[in-house]
Amino acid sequence: MSTVAESSRPITSRFDPRFEVTLYRYVGVEGAHTLDAYRAHGGYAAATKALTERTPAQVIDEVKASGLRGRGGAGFPTGLKWSFMPPPDGGQRFIVCNADESEPGSFKDRYLLEDDPHQVIEGMLIAGYAIQATLGVLYVRGEYYRAYERLQAAIDEARAAGVLGTGVLGTGVDFDLILHRGAGAYICGEETALMNSFEGLRANPRLKPPFPAQAGVYGRPTTINNVESFASVVHIIDKGAAWYAAMGTDDSKGTKLYQVSGPVHRPGVYELPMGASFRELIYDLAGGPTEPAKAFIPGGSSTPMLPWTDANLDLPMDYASMAKAGTMLGTGGVIVIPESKCIVDAMYNLVRFYAHESCGKCTPCREGVSTWLPKMFQKLLAGLGTCEDLSLMEEMVRHLRGTAFCPLADACAMPVAASFQHFRSEYEHLVDTGTPLHPRTSRWVA
């Protein structure tokens, strides 16, 4: 893995010459995590502008006009989500930052939290003002200990400097943050499970509706967004919605943090304008594959893989293009799959992850994801699979789609379905010969 400093070096984009590195500008810069450093390059000016020159409704309108879509995976329009909050009733309202980042292939939020925590805090402050919440919850993945330490230090500094607390930044606005370490499970990143986990309950997802805006943390109106979404808000307020919306494509605006992992020369996190191509990301920035590749996962392990073709590499990385190609942009976590990798083994590795991380609350996930799917993979990889097993597995992943309580089962089913769609011959080879087409490299043995 290249260093963060190296991966975030200033770059331009072939796709859009107006693009400038924005979110990751100070990631990898020594000492950038302190309040002094943040303020030295204009930090908290956007929050001051929002709190003193705009009404909460105007901040929401500006974020709507920017076209920002949530960066946690689903791409829901951020300003629209904020506008779902009911009018204040005098009780507590919450703004929540989802910093649980546990999906394989996704690691963009981590370096923002570690190296530029004030950018995230400033985004939360602006968002809290917009939805009229005086309390924020920053839920950080339990294993991200360095991020936790940096965030706690940043919150302490901000409180001491009057950036958080009563009458923040010399205004009449109150806003404070609670930093909460996650419970060490991928399911804790699902927004309703996260709220349960924060409240000290088991991280089972809640039924929706009611949505968090109606009944969120402790049953109170809550808005929850991803780390990168909050960081983006700072620049939208600072430079204006029009500046932000000028970058990107019709349905996907602004800049985005993409991640590249797998056998490439320079794996890491790269910021690009929305709509730049996979080719630009994988070849120009990540240096291209170190060995022949046969597929890539476009947006974190939950998104369906695409075969390694010129047409797919030239696809723009935006929400509409990914949907048209039958996949999703997700978190922008690109995983390159080499020719030499056994697809069945790779999918078994992935299925084991989802099986382990499922909360077990609903039957499709508990029986399908956590029990039968891994067993079927074990049978196949032991050389005991039949043609009927393949059909059964395909049917099983079809039935997992949309039938579980939360999207975790879909997240497991979609990549497996795509592997059958594009690489069924590897499954058939295993059934026909009892051995994989390519040697197994995963450390899990069936």
Ligand X SMILES: Cc1cc2nc3c(=O)[nH]c(=O)nc-3n(C[C@H](O)[C@H](O)[C@H](O)COP(=O)(O)O)c2cc1C
**Footprint on this chain of ligand X (rule: CB under 6 A):** 70-74, 76, 81, 98, 100-102, 186-187, 189-191, 224-226, 229, 406-408, 411
Q: Return the amino acid letter for 333.
A: G
The set of residues, in sequence order, having a beta carbon less than 8 Å from that of 444 and lying 6+ positions away, is 348, 349, 352
Cα separation of 357 and 187, whole Å?
6
SS (H, E, C) 13-51: CCCCCCCCCCCCCCCCCCCCCCHHHHHHCCCCHHHHHHH
Q: How far is the CB of 190 from ligand X (least distance, A)?
A: 4
Q: How far is the CB of 366 from ligand X (least distance, A)?
A: 15
Nearest to 242 by CA among 15, 119, 64, 58: 64
- Whether the CB-CB separation of 338 and 294 falls below 8 Å is answered with yes
Cα separation of 172 and 168, whole Å?
7
């932000």: which residue's tokens? 244
Q: How far is the CB of 255 from ligand X (least distance, A)?
A: 15
Query: Structure tokens of 61?
Result: 């309108």
Cα separation of 226 and 194, whole Å?
12
Query: Structure tokens of 405?
Result: 């309580």
Q: How far is the CB of 194 from ligand X (least distance, A)?
A: 7
* Cα 386 from chain centroid (whole Å): 37
Q: How far is the CB of 186 from ligand X (least distance, A)?
A: 6
Task: With both helix axes pointing from N to C terminus, report the angle between 373-381 and 408-433 in degrees, rounded to the nearest 10.
Answer: 20
DSSP SS3 for 109: helix
Q: How far is the CB of 398 from ligand X (least distance, A)?
A: 19
- Whichever of 75 and 289 has its CB closer to ligand X, that residue is 75
The set of residues, in sequence order, having a beta carbon less than 8 Å from that of 124 and lying 6+ positions away, is 95, 97, 136, 138, 177, 230
- Whichever of 157 and 410 has its CB closer to ligand X, that residue is 410
- Whichever of 187 and 285 has its CB closer to ligand X, that residue is 187
Alpha helices, DSSP H, located in 292-407: 310-313, 319-324, 343-357, 363, 373-381, 387-400
Q: How far is the CB of 436 from ligand X (least distance, A)?
A: 29
- Whichever of 74 and 431 has its CB closer to ligand X, that residue is 74
- Whichever of 112 and 158 has its CB closer to ligand X, that residue is 112
- Whichever of 72 and 221 has its CB closer to ligand X, that residue is 72
- Whichever of 8 and 225 has its CB closer to ligand X, that residue is 225
Q: How far is the CB of 230 from ligand X (least distance, A)?
A: 8
- Whichever of 120 and 295 has its CB closer to ligand X, that residue is 120
* CA angle 333–335–341, rounded 5-degree value: 165
Task: Determine how many CB atoms are found less than 10 A away from the CB of residue 200.
Answer: 7
Query: Structure tokens of 219?
Result: 């049953």
Cα separation of 9 and 25, whole Å?
8
Q: How far is the CB of 14 from ligand X (least distance, A)?
A: 27
Q: How far is the CB of 427 from ligand X (least distance, A)?
A: 26
Cα separation of 283 and 30, whole Å?
28
- Whichever of 7 and 106 has its CB closer to ligand X, that residue is 106
- Whichever of 35 and 151 has its CB closer to ligand X, that residue is 151
